[in-house]
Structure 1
Amino acid sequence: MAEHDDLAFAVDDYLTRSYAGDRRRKLLDSGGWDAGLAAELAELGWYSLAVSEGRGGIGASPADLGRVFLEYGRHLVVGPLLENSLLPALLEGLDPDPAGTPPALVDPGVTDDWDLGSVALNGAQLTGTVDAVRFAAQAGVLVVVAGEAVCLVAPAAPGVRIESVDSADPGTAFARVSFDGATARTVLADGDLVGRIRAWARLLLACELSGLAQGALERTVEYVGQREQFGRPIGGFQAVKHLAADMSARATGLHNLCLAALADADDAPRAQLDLLASTAKAHAADVALRVCEDAIQLHGGMGFTTETDVSWYYRRALALRAWYGDETELRHRIGAALLDPGRQT
């Protein structure tokens, strides 16, 4: 446990010193990708935390990444954090790039609510389109989910087309990826791997959303302690106290749920991992948005300005809410899993 806390403390300390104020806002306004920041985090070794020591990593577990993602959310860090941290940890043949160039996860199954397209695999040939892929235009390799298989494809391979698309997420650049007979250099026919990638993505995104809720709360508490009306800070008014207390209770409950899920996740069988991840992500999708909405209300409704960071927290929470399932979608999955304990989502 102490090692886990040390990781989170080191990340928090560095981001507090080197990723704050004007730099953070400039990066949030840059479209979600900054090669310099990606290289900086790669040099710090943050993308190698859960990579085995035999492959040059630190050897932490995927669950250890959760505490780091809590800090990523608190500090509104942009970029391919999920892709650069998780995919090399789960795929033996995929090492972190020293310059921070990310792998892109081409997965048509990020949510049941959107029809993002599909990808079919015939031998080693891929066909199909996925309309929203994070950081595909910046990727050094495409990690493609095609049914029960995971394929590694070079972005410049014949038959691959990548088109950047607009993004409402201040922390993410999106692209449309199409395959027309593109050849995969590696094909891993492992349905369990597909499930583990999706489950860990859900759990780490839940942690990032929890960090967003905590960051929005912290900035709100600071603001209501400084903003004055009628000669005293608005934090002294009863209505403001009640709303801030509700925010704190929600954010703290989500934080504790994420920590509990992480504690059980590393050695969990697939079905239990799916349930843990879905439960945490469902609660995070709901709570982070509520906390950010309350933060905007207590800031006087300044949801469409960048005078404070709460607008960025809100936009980021909105964007991450549906990625790998929002609360409505995942509650259906959780209910189905509880009715059929052997079911894997």
Structure 2
Amino acid sequence: MDFDLTEEQRLLKDSVEGLLGDAYDFEARKKYMKEPGGWSKAIWGRFAEQGLLGLPFAEDDGGFGAGAVETMIVMEALGRALVIEPYLATVVIAGGLLRHGGSAAQKEAHIPSIIDGAKTFAFAQLEKNSRYDLADVTTSAKKKGDGWIIDGEKFVVLNGEAADTFVVTARTRGGQRDANGIGVFLVPANAKGIVKKTYPTQDGLHGADVTFTGVEVGADAVIGDGENGLPLIERVVDEARSALCAEAVGLMDESLKATVEYLKTRKQFGVPIGSFQTLQHRAADMFVAVEQARSMSMFATMACDFDDAKERSTAVAAAKVQIGKSGKFVGQQSIQLHGGIGMTMEAKIGHYFKRLTMIENTFGDTEYHLRRVTAAGGLV
């Protein structure tokens, strides 16, 4: 199998890395974090100008018709630069729900504003006791005439502070953990009855706890089947997990690079500490962990196009297991080899480890996905 990038994919890689290299150093990131919503509108506009926000959308919808490999390339670059803009929430998740389940009218109404950077989205899915179970939904959506009334609470909604539209999972019928009876709804963030509690997260992003009380939406708010939306949610969340795996590879790549550079410059006993064989062994082990993660990230990327939903979900779960293990190892070793400076807010390396830790716990941690792979009987 050929894993080399095509000419167009190499150009995309060079383009996005060039953009971030010019505009996204660590000091600039600190400034962007202080802007309203916790990220830079100017950088988001540059993403739009460069076509990054339109990559996965069909040409008929104004996009470029790119696939999972192109998303992987972008997410790796975003990881290397520690980007805090809501690409995952808006383009990968909300965009994925619209691409796979949206009607022609919904695509026409929302996709152009994603592509040109005019609007961002937030995925309101996590609930107080749901953990990683996508089917555990107590937020309700009840019919009122042709429309719906939504009531409930969602937690840790990434980009919830700045989003123009929430994509909300809500139960239209059945019990709390029933697989059937779950719908996906587009809800304007300024709708009457929405209350947000916003806060920064450990990795520099911004989240929100959102309460919906008697929020009214029209019949056109439902994405796909309002009573059988779980397969759509599972498909898009698998794509999000794959994208997070790619981001983690970028984070680990940069962590390894920064650590090796530090070993070459930090001196002890009059010589660079990188000359000590034990530390060289640690760096070599980090390299192996990064490459293992990279291979599984590629596997997850390919799995996004599998026709069999069970095969796809098992492959992505296996990738998330390796990403979790490699991310923890590379992050811990990076901090250890940097010494005390690695624990400070001023050192970039600690921020990479924080983001890796958050990725490990997003849409299922290592133990959760290991149980899923085991229950499926493994990959072969």
Task: Report the TM-score when normalising by structure 1.
Answer: 0.90
Gaps of at least 5 residues in structure 2 are 172-181
Please show how residues 324-343 of structure 1 align to structure 2 within 5 Å.
324-338=363-377
1:54 aligns with 2:87: no
Cα deviation for residue 113 of structure 1 reads 8.5
Q: Which has the higher mean CA deviation after the structures are superposed, 269-278 or 258-267? A: 258-267
* 2:189 alignment counterpart: 155
1:88 aligns with 2:95: yes
- For 1:44, the aligned partner's letter is Q
Cα deviation for residue 271 of structure 1 reads 1.5
Q: Which structure is richer in relative contact order (CA contacts within 8 A, separation 6 or more)?
A: 1
CA distance in 2, matches of 1:49, 1:176: 30
CA distance in 2, matches of 1:119, 1:62: 31
1:35 aligns with 2:41: yes
- For 1:335, the aligned partner's letter is T
Gaps of at least 5 residues in structure 1 are none
Q: Which has the higher mean CA deviation after the structures are superposed, 234-243 or 80-89? A: 80-89
Deviation digits for residues 278-311 of structure 1, max 9, x if unmatched? 1112221221122011011111132331443101
Change in Cα spacing, 1:201 to 1:299, as seen in structure 2 (3 Å) is same
Cα deviation for residue 57 of structure 1 reads 0.9
Cα deviation for residue 100 of structure 1 reads 5.0
CA distance in 1, matches of 2:28, 2:118: 19
Aligned Cα RMSD in Å? 2.4
Secondary structure of 1:299's counterpart equals helix
Cα deviation for residue 64 of structure 1 reads 2.4
Please show how residues 109-258 of structure 1 align to structure 2 within 5 Å.
111-112=131-132, 118-123=138-143, 124-147=148-171, 148-170=182-204, 172-185=205-218, 186-188=221-223, 189=225, 190-258=229-297
Secondary structure of 2:185's counterpart equals strand
Indicate if the aligned counterparts of 2:51 and 2:115 stay in contact, CA closer than 8 A. Answer: no
Cα deviation for residue 24 of structure 1 reads 2.9
- For 2:142, the aligned partner's letter is N
Q: Which has the higher mean CA deviation after the structures are superposed, 261-270 or 63-72? A: 261-270
Indicate if the aligned counterparts of 2:314 and 2:379 stay in contact, CA closer than 8 A. Answer: no
Q: Percent identity?
A: 28
* 2:72 alignment counterpart: 66
Cα deviation for residue 324 of structure 1 reads 0.2
CA distance in 2, matches of 1:206, 1:277: 9
* 2:18 alignment counterpart: 13
Change in Cα spacing, 1:214 to 1:279, as seen in structure 2 (3 Å) is same
**Structure 1 residue corresponding to 2:83, chosen from 77, 88, 91:** 77
Indicate if the aligned counterparts of 1:202 and 1:277 stay in contact, CA closer than 8 A. Answer: yes
Please show how residues 273-312 of structure 1 align to structure 2 within 5 Å.
273-312=312-351
CA distance in 2, matches of 1:152, 1:136: 14
Deviation digits for residues 227-247 of structure 1, max 9, x if unmatched? 122222111101110110111
CA distance in 1, matches of 2:198, 2:43: 20
Specify the structure having the higher radius of gyration (Cα).
2
Change in Cα spacing, 1:66 to 1:238, as seen in structure 2 (3 Å) is same
CA distance in 1, matches of 2:63, 2:191: 29
Q: Which has the higher mean CA deviation after the structures are superposed, 189-198 or 216-225? A: 189-198
Secondary structure of 2:342's counterpart equals coil
CA distance in 2, matches of 1:339, 1:289: 22
Flag as ranges the 4+ runs of structure 1 deviating above 6 A.
none
